[in-house]
Structure 1
Amino acid sequence: MTVRRRAALTSLFAAIVLVLSGALLTAPASAAAAASRDGVCDSGEFCYYYNSGELGSVSDFTGSVSDYGTTEPSCYDFKGAGAGQGLCVKNNAASVWNRSSQTVRVYYNSGYAGSYQDFAAGAKGNLNATLKNNNASHQFLSSTPPTGCTTDGTNTKLPTTILVYRVSLGRVDRVDFETYVKNVLPNEWISSWPAESLKAGAMAVKSFGWYWALHSTNKTSGGACFDVYDNTSSQVYKPGSATTATNSAVDATWGTRMTRGGAILQAHYCSTTTACGGWVTGDWMSQYGSRDLANAGDSYSTILNYYYDNITLTS
Structure 2
Amino acid sequence: MTILRRVPSLLAVLVVALVGVAVAPGAASAAARDGACDSGEFCYYYNSNQAGSISDFTDSLDDYGTTQPSCYEFKGAGAGKGLCVKNNAASVWNRTGKTVRVYFNSNFAGASQDFAAGAKGNLNATLKNNNASHELLSGPTGCSTDGTNSKLPTTILVYRVSLGRVDRVDFKTYVKNVLPNEWITSWPKASLEAGAMAVKSYGWYWALHSTRKTSGGQCYDVRDDTGDQVYRPSSAQASTSSAVDSTWSARLTRSGNILQAHYCATTTACGGWVDGDWLSQYGSRDLANAGNGYQTILRHYYRDVAIS
Fold equivalence (TM over 0.5): yes
Match of 1:177 in 2: 171
Q: TM-score, normalised by structure 2?
A: 0.56
- SS of 1:289's equivalent in the other structure is helix
How does 1:46-195 map onto structure 2 within 5 Å? Answer: 114=109, 144-195=138-189
Matched, 1:271 2:290: no
Q: Closer, same or farther in 2 for the Cα pair 1:208/1:297, shift >3 Å?
A: same
Question: What is the one-letter code of the residue matched to 1:313?
Answer: I
Match of 1:129 in 2: none
Shift of 1:278: 5.3
Instruction: Indicate which of 208, 219, 225 corresponds to 1:214.
Output: 208
Shift of 1:277: 5.7
Aligned partners of 1:238 and 1:164: how far apart in 2?
11
Match of 2:52 in 1: none
Shift of 1:196: 0.3
How does 1:17-28 map onto structure 2 within 5 Å? Answer: none
Whether contact under 8 Å (1:281, 1:307) holds in the other structure is no
Aligned partners of 1:174 and 1:145: how far apart in 2?
11
Aligned partners of 2:153 and 2:190: how far apart in 1?
24
Match of 1:244 in 2: 238
Identity of counterpart residues, as a percentage? 73
Greater relative contact order (Cα < 8 A, sep 6+): 1
Q: Closer, same or farther in 2 for the Cα pair 1:113/1:270, shift >3 Å?
A: farther
Question: What is the one-letter code of the residue matched to 2:253?
Answer: T
Aligned partners of 1:261 and 1:165: how far apart in 2?
29
Match of 1:90 in 2: none
Matched, 1:295 2:289: yes
Higher Cα Rg: structure 1 or 2?
2
1:208-263 CA-partner distances (Å, limit 9, x unpaired): 00000000000001100000000000000000100000000000000000000000
Shift of 1:272: 1.5
Whether contact under 8 Å (2:272, 2:278) holds in the other structure is no
Shift of 1:273: 3.7
Aligned partners of 1:278 and 1:174: how far apart in 2?
31
Question: What is the one-letter code of the residue matched to 2:167?
Answer: D
Shift of 1:148: 0.5
Whether contact under 8 Å (1:181, 1:205) holds in the other structure is yes
Q: TM-score, normalised by structure 1?
A: 0.54
Question: What is the one-letter code of the residue matched to 2:109?
Answer: G
Question: What is the one-letter code of the residue matched to 1:149?
Answer: C
Shift of 1:190: 0.4
Question: What is the one-letter code of the residue matched to 1:212?
Answer: W
Aligned partners of 2:193 and 2:240: how far apart in 1?
8
Instruction: Indicate which of 219, 229, 232 corresponds to 2:226.
Output: 232
Shift of 1:283: 1.1
How does 1:30-45 map onto structure 2 within 5 Å? Answer: none
Aligned partners of 1:277 and 1:216: how far apart in 2?
21
Aligned partners of 1:206 and 1:231: how far apart in 2?
16
How does 1:252-263 map onto structure 2 within 5 Å? Answer: 252-263=246-257
Question: What is the one-letter code of the residue matched to 1:114?
Answer: A
What stretches of structure 2 of length at least 5 have no aligned partner? 1-102, 111-135
- SS of 2:303's equivalent in the other structure is coil
Whether contact under 8 Å (1:146, 1:152) holds in the other structure is yes
Aligned partners of 1:113 and 1:162: how far apart in 2?
20
Aligned partners of 2:108 and 2:296: how far apart in 1?
41
Match of 2:304 in 1: 310
- SS of 2:169's equivalent in the other structure is strand
What stretches of structure 1 of length at least 5 have no aligned partner? 1-107, 116-140
Shift of 1:114: 2.0
